[in-house]
Amino acid sequence: MMTMREFRLPDLGEGLTESDIVSWHVHAGDHVELNQVIAEVETAKALVDLPSPYTGVVASLHAEEGQTVTVGDPLVTFEIDDGTPAAPTGDSAPPTTPQAAEPGVAPHTAVPVRRDPGLGEQGDDDGPEPNLVGYGAAPERAGRPTRRRRAPVSAAGRAGGRPEPAEPGVAPQAVPIVRTDPGLDADPTPGRVGERPRSTPPVRALAKKLGVRIDRVDGTGPDGLITREDVLAAVSCHRDVARPPRDVHGTLTASAASAASTGSAASADAPSATADEKGDVAPGGLGRGATSPVSAAAGVDARAGLEPEVVPVRGVRKHTAAAMVASAFTAPHATVFLTVDVTRSVELLERLRTHRLARGERITVLALAARALCLALPRHPALNSAWHDLADGTAEIVRHRRVHLGIAVATDRGLVVPHVPDAQDLDLPDLAAALTDLTVTARDGRTTPERLTGGTISITNVGVFGVDAGTPILVPGEAAILGLGAVRRRPWEHDGAVALRDVVTLSLSFDHRVVDGEQGARFLADLGALLEDPALALLASGPPPTGGAPSGRTLDPAPGSAARGERSRVRQGGVTG
């Protein structure tokens, strides 16, 4: 006996409440195996492959590519064989026995479409449910029904046909699985009543966002497939064409002539305001009755390719934008700049390329700056801190003893800031290797959620884009971020004479609630001194000064010693803003 099972978006961890469907790996009617990847979804943290919790046939997909889905919402309906366990266990499964009817279900009904009671949970009468490998189950929300009935949708039903009547008093019977996108199998002949045009989910999503009726667009792809270009051409034609479309001989196209005769076509002096609704605008300005590609080219305005592109804000971009707004309007930012001569550091990097102590790692200016930052932080603990507002109206400053160094990485999906945990314990070659791995993983979209949260201070390397300096915005929860500019060969005073030297500009943004201007300036001066003369690193590795106060002079041996701990707290009462 076949059973319809509804699979909901699981809780992917880290408190995430929604995900975007990046791509489907299956279609309605496809047979899938247990744990076969069926979709790729994008959370605020990373790209995630979503495996199938069942072995069976995909009956329908409940979301399109690009759509945002909330945890617990239905994703896929599967048709599975009740005689085969959905999730095999280590022991042999007992023979399948008929299941008791659910309360409130008609006694002679077939197994209805049921909502998956939750991954890893057990239904009232269904035996072990499949467990989605690598993810936990989303808890059932209070007040929500434990089961939801959803009748299978056939191709005819989606296309506008009449559903088959059910017998009185009997629940819907299980029906054969058909493809839920009839446009992929239907006859491409245009004008068929109730037919859904052939198109792909991204194209349908684009048409919806641009306000184009997909059933009024003629496809120019294989077998009449509607492409992205067809939708854009329909929009361009609707906006820019100032007279009814004509063919190469100057005569009105069939649909334009018909529209003109009924009063639905636009006048010759203004674009039609209802062309899409009447079905008279097709790609290239063609009516539905005309199909000549030459006519299409003749009807397109020369500015058709200059229409603005609408880019949905979702995934990493949406969450990065929210974080930047929260940071900019919560923490009072201050930025200081310092330009230093890094010729000695550049020469050191050249020597390290072939030195055995480098252990074959490619050490860059970014790695050297990261190591210098870790060496300078113990003398300036305020920079490795965070401001916490408390429920009682007071606040506290959390000073971290460990350095979880965040690195801003530009990816195709947007800006992410993964971090290197315990960066203070890594030597220069190990830190260089960690930065390389972190960057590659982030650009591949495979950074784990735990690496995207919990950073204590960050670096953004704008110099890789040829930029000299910038004013970086703080990562929420951090008190400082260092901007590293491009290393340039410039005239510079050296030993009483002007010479060409390698020069870089450093910028430091900090939370002025946590870091005073003096503290930020002294930290940047120490960092610049380490990059200007790497030999000073021998003086910068002492313990932090007691009491958390910076030394009066830069790079002096720090007096005293503080007990090592994960973090220390400095309470701030009477917060006024």
How much is the pLDDT for 275? 38
Say which residue the tokens 């309906």 belong to: 77
C-alpha angle with apex 346: 342 to 351, nearest 5 degrees? 145
φ and ψ at 79, to 5 degrees? -110, 115
The pLDDT, as a whole number, for residue 357 is 82
pLDDT at 496: 92
CA 70, CA 83: separation in Å to the nearest integer?
A: 32
The domain in which residue 99 lies consists of 1-180
* 338 and 204 assigned to the same domain: no
Compute CA distances 247 → 189, 219, 239, 254, 439, whole Å.
22, 18, 19, 10, 54
Pairwise CA distance, residues 489 & 499, whole Å: 10
CATH number of the domain residue 151 falls in: 2.40.50.100
- Residue 573 covered by a domain: no
**Per the domain annotation, does 393 fall within a domain?**
yes
Tokens for 174, please give them.
């299980």
- Taking only the tens place, the pLDDT of each residue in 493-529 is 999 999 999 999 999 999 999 999 999 999 999 999 9
Point out which residues pair with 484 in neighbouring strands: 506
Does one domain contain both 449 and 528?
yes
Q: Strand, helix or coil at 65? A: coil
Statement to judge: residues 158 and 78 lie in one domain: yes
Same structural domain, 166 and 196: no
Q: At what angle do helices 343-352 and 365-376 cross, to 10 degrees?
A: 110
- Residue that terminates a domain, selected from 287, 306, 325: 306
- Nearest CA to 249 out of 190, 290, 191 is that of 290
Residue 17, domain member (yes or no): yes
Whether 54 and 143 share a structural domain:
yes
Active site residues: 512
275 shares its domain with 384: no
Q: In this structure, what DSSP letter does residue 146 have?
A: S
For 38, 52, 153, 458, 536, the CA distances from 32, given in Å and listed in that order, are: 8, 7, 19, 43, 61
Which segments of the chain have a pLDDT < 50? 85, 87-163, 165-194, 240-253, 255-300, 543-553, 556-568, 570-577
User: Three-state DSSP class for 216?
Assistant: helix
Is the overall model pTM greater than 0.85, yes or no?
Answer: no
Are residues 288 and 386 both part of a single domain?
no
Q: In sequence order, which residues have a C-beta less than 8 Å from that of residue 283 and are 6 or more positions away? A: 217, 218, 220, 229, 230, 231, 233, 234, 237, 296
- Put residue 72 in one of left, alpha, beta given phi > 0 → left and psi -120 to 50 → alpha: left
CATH code of the domain containing 359 = 3.30.559.10
pLDDT at 308 (0 to 100) = 86
Q: Are the C-beta atoms of 473 and 324 separated by less than 8 Å?
A: yes
Residue 572 lies in a domain: no
Q: Specify the pLDDT at position 407.
A: 96
Specify the pLDDT at position 493.
93
Place of tokens 């063919």: 247
Bridging pattern class, strands 405-407 and 395-400: unpaired
User: What pLDDT does residue 541 have?
Assistant: 59
239 plus 116 within the same structural domain: no
**Is 418 exposed, middle or buried, given 0-12, 13-18 or 19+ CB atoms closer than 10 A?**
buried
- Indicate the number of domains in the chain: 3
564 is a domain residue? no
